Amino acid sequence: MAGDGGAPKGGLGTIRNATLLMDLLARSPYLHQLTDLAQQSGMTVPTVHRLLRSLVHAEYAVQDPATSRYGLGRAMTRLAVHQLSTSPILTALNPFMIGLRDQLAATIGVHVLISGEAVSIDQVEAQDRGPFRRPLRAVPALESASGRILAAHASDEEWERAVAISREGSRGLGDASPGDDPDGGLPCAEHREEWRAADHVVFESSDPTAPNEVAVAVRAADGTVVAALSADLQPSSDARAVAAVLLRTAVSCGRSIAHG
């Protein structure tokens, strides 16, 4: 039997519904109305309210006393910090990030693929980028060089999820051609094979204030692509030369990562 949101009743259904709510809470804006969460999740208002009370009690969610709206709680930050502090990917790459930044005069990032998004898990800003740091972020995978590398090497299911997120985002912007690739045409098998075969991928940003990006795959010792290493590109940058430096580091560090 299925409960709210199509999840089976019982413990498994409760966990799935709770994680669905946390995923919705992670989206913009910072705080969400109860009724909006119910509509987006497909669950009833009483079910959502009951789950949120449990999440607030465990500090995985927070309720703003002034507006009664809900957001993610500080326990999520604690879990994320613990997870990153023990990450074999960051253990391997962290010692080389500043050296890469200085050698390339570029912002260097490490990214992983999670639920169709390219998630930045570490970043070292270029020294000439001014006093403001760019925060870590998660973007639809097909909207970044790192995400394209990661999605192309992921399972068929993860690839389809990345394509779906790209199309959904384009519809939200009122695009006439949902999911269009910047080079024209929908993301398809040909794009995937091209990005999978390439030793680096370049993403040209449509935002004139944002730099272009080049990324390479980080392969664990068993050959599995576990992350992407990226650098931003200035107008005078040689993408192939930047990628070659990134690739040397990615190959060297990847050998110390036991498996994907």
Token pair 């990005």 is found at 195
Measured CA to CA, the distance from residue 211 to residue 193 in angstroms comes to 25
Q: Is pLDDT above 60 for 123? A: yes
Question: Can you give the pLDDT at residue 70?
Answer: 97
Q: Is pLDDT above 60 for 7? A: no
The vertex-200 CA angle with 194 and 206, nearest 5°, equals 85
Question: Can you give the pLDDT at residue 135?
Answer: 81
Measured CA to CA, the distance from residue 33 to residue 227 in angstroms comes to 35
Q: Is pLDDT above 60 for 254? A: yes
Measured CA to CA, the distance from residue 159 to residue 32 in angstroms comes to 29
167, 177 Cβ separation under 8 angstroms: no
**pLDDT tens-digit readout, 8-24:** 455 578 899 999 999 99
Residue 5's pLDDT band (boundaries 50, 70, 90)?
A: very low
**pLDDT tens-digit readout, 105-117:** 999 999 999 999 9
> Does residue 3 or residue 142 have the better pLDDT?
142
Question: Which neighbouring-strand residues pair with 96?
Answer: none
Question: Can you give the pLDDT at residue 9?
Answer: 53
**pLDDT tens-digit readout, 57-101:** 999 999 999 999 999 999 999 999 999 999 999 999 999 999 999
End-to-end CA distance of the chain: 35
Measured CA to CA, the distance from residue 149 to residue 142 in angstroms comes to 9
Question: Can you give the pLDDT at residue 181?
Answer: 44
Strands laid side by side in the 117-124 sheet: 138-140, 117-124, 108-114, 225-233, 212-219, 201-203
Q: What 3-state DSSP class applies to 208?
A: coil
Question: Can you give the pLDDT at residue 130?
Answer: 63
**pLDDT tens-digit readout, 126-182:** 987 666 677 889 999 999 999 999 999 999 999 999 999 888 766 554 444 434 444
Q: Is pLDDT above 80 for 225? A: yes
Question: Can you give the pLDDT at residue 208?
Answer: 78
Measured CA to CA, the distance from residue 49 to residue 62 in angstroms comes to 12
52, 21 Cβ separation under 8 angstroms: yes
CA-wise closest residue to 136 among 118, 117, 116, 121: 121
Share of the chain above pLDDT 90, in %: 73
CA-wise closest residue to 229 among 246, 206, 251, 245: 246
Alpha helix (H) residue ranges in 173-259: 189-197, 239-254
CA-wise closest residue to 201 among 136, 165, 247, 159: 247
Q: Is pLDDT above 60 for 214? A: yes
126, 105 Cβ separation under 8 angstroms: yes
Q: Is pLDDT above 50 for 183? A: no
1, 8 Cβ separation under 8 angstroms: yes
pTM of the predicted structure, to 2 decimals: 0.82
Token pair 């009951």 is found at 50
Q: Is pLDDT above 90 for 211? A: no
62, 46 Cβ separation under 8 angstroms: no
Question: Can you give the pLDDT at residue 175?
Answer: 45
